[in-house]
Structure 1
């Protein structure tokens, strides 16, 4: 078996190409701990890159750093992990999270579903850049069907920085993935001592350590002296849908259009002309747009029947359903999570009525 350290340079160069083509035969499993300790739980890490796998030129550099550390190097930096679990790893990509695409997301879903189906695997971890971590986490929450924990983890400071947060975040993620307390909670996000639901958690600050949380639903739990403590018993997020993507090799194209003063209505037609099969509007207020944009959406919908989801550009909020037959209310889903839900619904063949129902499940009304 080839070591990840041998295939990492090839994987990195391929992952940086556009579009990304993943050589599945080279995404090689590596048992990082040898020999395996039969008394410890087994955890698998899927590494994708991001700040947690980055290095700067000095220990004070916290911007402009370079991605490049592999999964073996991440674990080597926290050898204490091997005292609490047997760790295996896959290097899926090594890119900033802005370059994560549907090929990588689907590869993760396929491989994680297969890994969690193994009786001897307690849970899995995805190391990821923070900029789009919430999108991958929500995608996995919507495509991985297992009671075992899936933990998405990243860092806000590169591995070379003073007080780098990645090592402790990774240690806590492994602790949670190996813990029975993590079961039946779907995909979770672990950063800065907090445990959040992938269904609700979002990145709230571009720079600070204290950035991942859910302002409305709250946190699932916290780490106290590196032990996970949950505030609630395991519960399913209201409206969560798990899509079967085992046979899916590509996702429907869905674009997000940002609403603002004097927005150009031509963007809607341009999006469809570029191949979009669905559109999400990051609307002002509770999903609103200008009157010109609303007219453009109505004309586009009448001509094509393309699903248009109205979400909110504010960090939190709720878009209610109304008498508008043109748009689909996003409910509590923000634009980026609305996009993923619409992508998956279109990919598996939902019609408009089923899409409306999928979004409405997150806010059942009496």
Structure 2
């Protein structure tokens, strides 16, 4: 369980020291973030744009219709008043897609560019603009492959850039604000939307349209942000890297997610094995369970060398070992707190890094950081 030690980074302290929350919080005008040295004293933040709703524009085909990825990175920055007072900003357009089309190619581009930024000290922090549909997956993937203590923040929006009450400008402002805070380093990849800071492992999209869609049901938010302050609810810790390398081939192994339901047979599982899946993640019912027929199919898959991970279709809670299912006997791994989409990514990365034994994989799934 994470220690609930609140740390506050006020507007005035972005360039100095974040104060502990039990001390009186101080606020100041945004202009106070510019020190005596002028803009040159501000932290350097690079914005990597990938498209998404935050870069979308409304379309007349329906009242709430829009086309994702229509606005470039520079346009996004120019639409946010005062953001230039938070950091020295530079932008790069990595992709212009809706995040439903996010893919290994873009993931690898992001990971390599961010690592390069860190290794060559090209910036003090990175902000990635991204669609919300798969934002949590990109955040989790990057959290597992990056080797840096520099802040890496993913941000998106639920409304397109030219919508009434567009949430993108405020989200982008606050993402840069978090990135510029000197208490943001060493926390792994983070997600910033709607005044909340979420950790990559725990955050998930919970609502189809609400601006308060990203939550961390099993851990809670790791911090909060508004235009005047950044407050972390967990203490900083020494960086700990997952140590997972990007496959040289530039692609990840095929791992399928199979959704559990009533009256389930083993057909989808057998088909996945026949189509050369290297791993299967069960989005099971309840505690990652499924029918006898489906469990038998999963056991057949394990005997053919396919990695099987039990996760759950339920929105919160842990999948535990050897409760309703004899995981030791069947050779299964359990996802614990990881939802199916994140369990899939970790399975892909572990297989790609040669970690395939059930014992080794379970140990890596059990690592919360």
Q: CA deviation at 1:217?
A: 0.6
Note the 1:96-175 alignment, pairs <5 A.
96-175=98-177
Report the Cα distance in structure 2 between the residues aligned to 1:146 and 1:63, rounded to whole angstroms: 38
Summarize deviations over 1:28-62 as a string: whole Å, max 9, x none: xxxxxxxx94222110111111100000036x943
Partner residue in 2 for 1:28: none
The two structures have a TM-score, normalised by structure 2, of 0.83
Partner of 1:294, secondary structure, is helix
Q: Quick check: 1:61–1:161 contact (8 Å CA) kept in 2?
A: no
Of 349, 357, 360 in structure 2, the residue corresponding to residue 354 of structure 1 is 360
Partner residue in 1 for 2:252: 251
Partner of 1:73, secondary structure, is helix
Structure 1 unaligned residues grouped into runs of 5+:
1-35
Q: CA deviation at 1:351?
A: 2.3
Partner residue in 1 for 2:19: none
Q: Quick check: 2:247–2:353 contact (8 Å CA) kept in 1?
A: no
Instruction: Using CA pairs under 8 Å that are at least 6 residues apart, name the structure with larger relative contact order, 1 or 2.
Output: 2
Q: Structure 1 pair 184/248, CA: closer, same or farther in 2 (3 Å)?
A: farther
Structure 2 unaligned residues grouped into runs of 5+:
1-37
Q: Quick check: 2:159–2:167 contact (8 Å CA) kept in 1?
A: yes
Summarize deviations over 1:144-179 as a string: whole Å, max 9, x none: 111110000000000111110000100111111122
Aligned residues: 325
Q: Runs ≥4 in structure 1, deviation > 4 angstroms?
A: none
Partner residue in 2 for 1:67: 69
Q: Structure 1 pair 236/298, CA: closer, same or farther in 2 (3 Å)?
A: farther
Partner of 2:183, secondary structure, is helix
Give the superposed CA RMSD.
2.1
Q: Quick check: 1:155–1:169 contact (8 Å CA) kept in 2?
A: yes
Partner residue in 2 for 1:223: 225
Q: Which range moved further: 66-75 or 336-345?
A: 66-75
Note the 1:176-255 alignment, pairs <5 A.
176-235=178-237, 241-245=242-246, 247=248, 249-255=250-256
Partner residue in 1 for 2:14: none
Report the Cα distance in structure 1 between the residues aligned to 2:368 and 2:150, rounded to whole angstroms: 23
Q: Quick check: 2:302–2:331 contact (8 Å CA) kept in 1?
A: yes
